[in-house]
Amino acid sequence: MRKRAAASGAIGAMVLPIIGLGCMGGVESSDNQETAATTTVQGALTSKGATDPGPRPGPAGAGAPVTPQPINADSASAQAAAAVACFPGLSSTMQKLCEQAVIRFQETDSVSGTVGTESGVGLGPTFNGNNCAMCHAQPAVLGTSPGLNSPQNSVPNPQVALATLDGARNTVPSFITAAGPVREARFKTDGGVHDLYTIAGRPDAPGCNATQPNFSAALAANNVIFRIPTPLFGGGLIENVPEMELEANLQTSTNSSLGIAGTLNRSGNDGTITRFGWKAQNKSVTIFASEAYNVEQGVSNLGFPNEREDGASNLQGCMSFNATPEDNTNFSSTGTASDVSSDVLNFALAIQLSKPATPTLPPGVSQNTVTQGSNQFVNVGCANCHTPTLTTAASSFDPALNDVTFHPYSDIALHNMGTGLSDGITQGNAGPQQFRTAPLWGVGQRLFFLHDGRTSDLTVAIAAHASSGSEANAVINNFNSLSESDQQAVLDFLRSL
């Protein structure tokens, strides 16, 4: 919370064939599982010589550039920079709201908003990050995990420096590395997120002596799995697809000869389809943002109004620095809709009003090659999970968002990915082997793949789809049967998205 004073998926000139890829979501694993799984799948798709060309260089296909701290959502220059993230054709009122929401998305939190440029309130008592855009940064704000191999913005994993920022007394866990992805850790024994760090030692947390979870012991017991950030751009379109369309699409894409079935995760409250998160466990963008603010940054809010413990020890004296919820409607504001609204509403609006990724040809790749690759994806059966096209209903946000046909490359459904990708976690109706089909829009500039970010190589990610019981086995077998030229075209196609 700020400290208070008393279109379609293929936007642009390039026209790409519309196809999909298996169930490119992947797995969460412990460190031991990660090593074993990577060893197993490496080489499965390399015998013919096809290689991942790597993240596509050039301008970001979606999202916004970073806003300097401390943020100022009323700054005209900051709004102009953020405008690139917004869906085209919005009314002037909604365009400004989108710009301000994208700026608010980048607010950096401290415990009470009193440390340096960290103007947000509510960090801790435990946390994985101090800014939404710290995790959702590649290829730009609203994206996914940043990294050193980014052509757009090469940076080390910010979670390393975060451990001791502002005097905090934390040890960096072994699975957080400068060259690796931003990660959260879940314990299999309870399924919950156990935050990496505590606020103990910070000048704005006097008297707090909280200690981190014992990650070394949990790793030794094979009790830890990881997740990396999902890209958020275009999320408002996914949110507004009618339920009947998702149901009909799943029925159409089911293919018994390929072993593809799938199911839609649903809310235990109203029975409607849930769509967001690695297991499609969150019903809406607002719930997704509210939970993340509470779980990842420790900020209590209107959706999750209480401070959480999440496995840290010695939390006495760490839970009551601020009144709760720490993020609330700014009832005293007389400013814009963004100024009056809570952080989580702004975060949700930034996602709901954003445009999806724009496909672009990678350097040295022709349109003919992309077409070849997309045709082969169709031929091997990838589009049965990664639905090429969906259409929204009418939107109450803005007429520009009415009846939008877009290309997420996802059916938003859960699929059984087999024993090799089982993570031991159940969320909603999604069991340990089930994962949501990860949308492929923007995959051309993604740095890390699979739920735990275990690889930066698309060939490894594709191969990891195959294991005992996986719905993708026949599709992967078909892919492995392609010629080297066709496999390479598939990889080039993916890097064009």
Give the residue extent of every domain in the chain: 31-60+232-274+356-494, 76-231+284-352
Given a cut of 80, is residue 5 above it in pLDDT?
Answer: no
How far is the C-alpha of 252 from the C-alpha of 246, rounded, in Å? 10
Question: Does the N-terminal peptide bond of residue 125 adopt cis geometry, omega within 30 degrees of 0?
Answer: yes
How far is the C-alpha of 60 from the C-alpha of 54, rounded, in Å? 15
Given a cut of 70, is residue 463 above it in pLDDT?
Answer: yes
For the chain, percent of residues with pLDDT exceeding 90: 87
Q: How confident is the model at residue 210 (pLDDT cuts 50, 70, 90)?
A: very high
pLDDT digits (tens, 9 = 90+) for 268-314: 999 999 999 999 999 999 999 999 999 999 999 999 999 998 879 99
How far is the C-alpha of 172 from the C-alpha of 164, rounded, in Å? 9
How far is the C-alpha of 445 from the C-alpha of 391, rounded, in Å? 24
Angle at 458 between CA 455 and CA 460, to 5 degrees: 60
Please state the separation of Cα 57 from the chain's center in Å.
20
When pLDDT is averaged across residues 42-70 and rounded to a whole number, the result is: 85
Our CA dihedral for 236, 241, 243, 244, rounded to 10 degrees, sits at: 180
When pLDDT is averaged across residues 373-387 and rounded to a whole number, the result is: 93
- Please give the structure tokens belonging to residue 459: 């060939």
pLDDT digits (tens, 9 = 90+) for 152-177: 999 999 999 999 999 999 999 999 99
Given a cut of 60, is residue 118 above it in pLDDT?
Answer: yes
Residue pair 387/253 in contact by the 8 Å Cβ criterion: yes
Given a cut of 50, is residue 418 above it in pLDDT?
Answer: yes
When pLDDT is averaged across residues 483-488 and rounded to a whole number, the result is: 97
**How many residues does this entry show for the chain?**
497
When pLDDT is averaged across residues 377-406 and rounded to a whole number, the result is: 96
When pLDDT is averaged across residues 216-230 and rounded to a whole number, the result is: 97
Q: Phi first, then psi: what are they for 289, rounded to 5°?
A: -65, -40
Q: How confident is the model at residue 48 (pLDDT cuts 50, 70, 90)?
A: confident
Residue pair 384/476 in contact by the 8 Å Cβ criterion: no
Given a cut of 50, is residue 360 above it in pLDDT?
Answer: yes
Quote the pLDDT of residue 279.
Answer: 97
Average pLDDT, the chain: 91
How far is the C-alpha of 92 from the C-alpha of 131, rounded, in Å? 27
